[in-house]
A and B are shown apart, each in its own frame.
Chain A
Amino acid sequence: EDQVTQSPEALRLQEGESSSLNCSYTVSGLRGLFWYRQDPGKGPEFLFTLYSAGEEKEKERLKATLTKKESFLHITAPKPEDSATYLCAVLSGSNYQLIWGAGTKLIIKP
Chain B
Amino acid sequence: TQLLEQSPQFLSIQEGENLTVYCNSSSVFSSLQWYRQEPGEGPVLLVTVVTGGEVKKLKRLTFQFGDARKDSSLHITAAQPGDTGLYLCAEGGTTSGTYKYIFGTGTRLKVLA
Bound together: no
B-binding residues in A (CB < 8 A)? none
